[in-house]
Structure 1
Amino acid sequence: MTGLPASPAALRTWLGLGLFVLLCLGIGQALEKKVVRSKVGEKVSLPCCHEIPSSESLHKYRVYWQKNITDVVLAYSEGSKIFQHERYQNRTEMDPWNLTLWISPMEILDNGSYQCVVQRNSVLVCSESVILFVTADFSTPNITAEVSAESCDSTEMVITCSSHGGFPKPKISGALNNMSVEWNASWVSESSFSPYSVTGKLVLNVTKDVNISCSVEYSGFAKSTSLLLKKTKNCVVPPVPPPYNVITASIIILITFILAITLAARYLPRHVCSQCCKRQDSAEEGVKECTKAPMSSKMTSETSSV
Structure 2
Amino acid sequence: ALEKKVVKSKVGEKVSLPCCHEIPSSEGLHKYRVYWQKNITDVVLAYSEGNMISKHERYQNRTQMDPWNLTLWISPMEILDNGSYQCVVQRNSVVVCDESVILFVTADFSKPNVTAEVSTDTCEWTEMVITCSSHGGFPKPKISGALNNMSVEWNASWVSESNHSPYNVTGKLVLNVTKDINITCSVEYNGFAKSTTLLLKKKNDCVAPPVPRPYNVITASIIIVITFILAITLAARYLPRHVCSRCCKRQDSVEEGVKDFTKAPVSDKGTAETSSV
TM-score range, shorter chain: 0.7 to 0.9
1:245 maps to a residue whose letter is: I
2:167 maps to a residue whose letter is: Y
Aligned residue runs from structure 1 range 167-206, under 5 A: 167-206=138-177
- Residue 247 of structure 1: how far off its partner (Å): 3.5
Aligned to 2:59: 88
- Distance in 1, matches of 2:202 and 2:4, equals 54
- Residue 33 of structure 1: how far off its partner (Å): 1.0
1:62 maps to a residue whose letter is: R
Structure 1 residue 246 and structure 2 residue 219: aligned? yes
Aligned residue runs from structure 1 range 124-203, under 5 A: 124-203=95-174
Gaps of 5+ in 2: 226-277
Q: Give secondary structure in 2 for the equivalent of 1:201.
A: strand
Aligned to 1:109: 80
Aligned to 1:52: 23
Aligned to 2:232: none
Aligned to 2:185: 214
- Distance in 2, matches of 1:248 and 1:35, equals 81
Of 122-131 and 239-248, the range deviating more from structure 2? 239-248
Q: Give secondary structure in 2 for the equivalent of 1:62.
A: strand
Aligned to 2:199: 228
Aligned residue runs from structure 1 range 238-277, under 5 A: 238-241=209-212, 243-247=216-220
- Residue 140 of structure 1: how far off its partner (Å): 0.5
2:127 maps to a residue whose letter is: E
- Residue 241 of structure 1: how far off its partner (Å): 4.2
Q: Give secondary structure in 2 for the equivalent of 1:172.
A: strand
- Distance in 2, matches of 1:188 and 1:238, equals 48
Aligned to 1:99: 70
Aligned residues: 224
For 1:11-52, what per-residue CA distance to the aligned partner results, in whole angstroms no more than 9, with x for missing partners?
xxxxxxxxxxxxxxxxx1xx4211101000000000001101
1:107 maps to a residue whose letter is: E
Q: Give secondary structure in 1 for the equivalent of 2:80.
A: helix
Q: CA RMSD in A?
A: 1.6
Aligned to 2:243: none
- Residue 245 of structure 1: how far off its partner (Å): 1.8
Aligned residue runs from structure 1 range 269-288, under 5 A: none
Answer 1 or 2: which has greater strand percent.
2
Q: Normalising by structure 1, report the TM-score.
A: 0.71
- Distance in 1, matches of 2:14 and 2:151, equals 37
Answer 1 or 2: which has greater helix percent.
1
Moved over 4 A (4+): 248-252
- Distance in 1, matches of 2:67 and 2:212, equals 92
Choose from 83, 92, 103 the match for 1:121.
92
Aligned to 2:9: 38
1:130 maps to a residue whose letter is: V
1:112 maps to a residue whose letter is: G
For 1:176-215, what per-residue CA distance to the aligned partner results, in whole angstroms no more than 9, with x for missing partners?
0110000000000000000000000000000000100000
TM-aligned CA distance change 1:132 to 1:238, over 3 Å: same
Structure 1 residue 70 and structure 2 residue 41: aligned? yes
For 1:228-260, what per-residue CA distance to the aligned partner results, in whole angstroms no more than 9, with x for missing partners?
0000001123344453322356899xxxxxxxx
- Distance in 2, matches of 1:205 and 1:149, equals 9
1:100 maps to a residue whose letter is: T
Q: Give secondary structure in 2 for the equivalent of 1:197.
A: strand
- Distance in 2, matches of 1:224 and 1:127, equals 42
Q: Normalising by structure 2, report the TM-score.
A: 0.78
1:139 maps to a residue whose letter is: S
1:54 maps to a residue whose letter is: S
TM-aligned CA distance change 1:127 to 1:241, over 3 Å: closer
- Distance in 2, matches of 1:35 and 1:239, equals 66
- Residue 124 of structure 1: how far off its partner (Å): 1.1
